[in-house]
Amino acid sequence: MTDTIKTDVLIVGAGPIGLFAVFELGLFDMKCHLIDILDRPGGQCAELYPEKPIYDIPGWPLITAQGLVDKLLEQIHPFKPDFTFNRMVSSLEKLEDGSFRVTTDEGEIFEAKVVVIAAGGGSFQPKRPPIPGIEAYEGKSVFYSVRRMEEFRGHDLVIVGGGDSALDWTLNLQPIAKSVTLVHRRPEFRAAPDSVNKMYAMQEMKELEFLVGQVSGLAGADGQLSSATIKGGPDGDVEVPCTRMLPFFGLTMKLGPIAEWGLNLHENLIPVDTEKFQTSVPGIFAVGDINWYPGKLKLILSGFHEVALMAQAAKRIVSPGERIVFQYTTSSTSLQKKLGVHD
């Protein structure tokens, strides 16, 4: 259905190490395409702690996590990497010519001579809330994201959570749902104040219901919900009609489908050698927090070192037989040309 996207190097994960890999690979003229499950670059730095200071980036006594991501994007800009966001890699297949075909959860197909796994702690996936038996309803009447609003039309919808996702979907789905009940464990929200005010105004107008508490039980059959029990509120246990549920409990990190790629694994990490940072499959490299080797430290600065060495090995695969000349960006006019430096 989609055209195959061809690139020299496919990088799985657009966190700081995936981004810096673009730089090191770019110096050797390799074109990179990055895939990330988040909707923007930066990985954990952008998703978990953008405002937090980092003190151990060489040359930066203090830089915020988002600041580092911004600087890395600026640094790799000359190499014009391509990004595909909101996608999780699913399958990987080795082709006859030695390259790799990788597909995403939405069916895009990539072909690359080299695959670099820079997936950090794994892909961010929605957290499952502590509701007994919820698994049986997932994908049928419990959803962790809204891909099609029509899925919710005419339903008794229960939305759980107190952040922007919960509030935005409460407001956006209210006009098409049969009923909307928002459930949050406290009356304070993390969401934008404007959304919270709108929600309270709609509650005043009886256009939706807001309950303080936690979902403690579900009722239904064959994956189809019929009601939910809310506990912990001022009125004790309350049963509300519920044929669709959207829980928003944040994200957790899981290795995901990469675990099925036939790579050797070590406690959910990918063992690599410390010369090339190559996995047990030649042509697939792993860098940053996702890899493991004796003495491994999960530090951003260690990942930077790893991609520099990985790039040398990747070049030998992408351009076999070509002599690799080691050069410094400080003095090499050819590297400076690639970086767009003008004298």
Partner 1 sequence: MTKLTYIANDGTQFDVEAENGSTVMENAIRNAVPGIEAECGGACACATCHVYVDEAWTAEVGEPEAMEEDMLDFAYEVRPNSRLSCQIKVRDALDGLVVRVPERQG
Which residues contact partner 1 by CB under 8 A?
44, 48-49, 52, 121, 127, 130, 161-163, 184-186, 188, 190, 214, 249-250, 252-253
Dihedral (Cα; 146, 91, 45, 130), 10-degree rounding: 50
Distance, in Å, from the CA atom of 284 to the CA atom of 291, rounded to the nearest integer, reads: 12
Q: At its nearest, how many Å lie between partner 1 and the CB of residue 223?
A: 23
Give the nearer residue to partner 1 in terms of CB position, either 44 or 278: 44
Place of tokens 């790629």: 261
- Judged by beta carbon, residue 15 or residue 81, the one nearer partner 1 is 15
- H helices present in 205-338, as ranges: 300-318, 333-338
- Nearest-approach distance from CB 181 to partner 1, in angstroms: 17
Minimum CB separation from partner 1 for residue 134, in Å?
Answer: 13
Strand partners, 111: 6, 101
Nearer to partner 1, 250 or 271 (CB): 250
Q: Which is nearer to partner 1, 128 or 316 (CB)?
A: 128
89: tokens are 């890699």
Tokens of 207: 């256009």
Least distance CB 125 / partner 1 (angstroms): 11
List Cα–Cα distances, 329 to 19, 24, 326, in angstroms. Answer: 18, 11, 10
The one-character DSSP state at 269 is B
Partnered with residue 57 across adjacent β-strands are 60
Q: Are 163 and 191 in contact (CB under 8 A)?
A: yes
Please report how close the Cβ of residue 101 comes to partner 1 at its closest, in angstroms. 32
Q: How far is the CB of 164 from partner 1 (least distance, A)?
A: 12
Q: Give the nearest distance from C-beta 189 to partner 1 in angstroms.
A: 9
Closer of 44 and 170 to partner 1 (Cβ): 44
Q: Among residues 114 and 253, whose Cβ is nearest to partner 1? A: 253
According to DSSP, residue 189 is labeled -
**DSSP 3-state assignment of 55?**
coil
Q: Using CA atoms, how far apart are residues 95 and 72, in angstroms rounded to an integer?
A: 32
The amino acid present at 277, given as its one-letter code, is F
Residue 337 CA, distance from chain mean position: 33
Nearer to partner 1, 6 or 128 (CB): 128
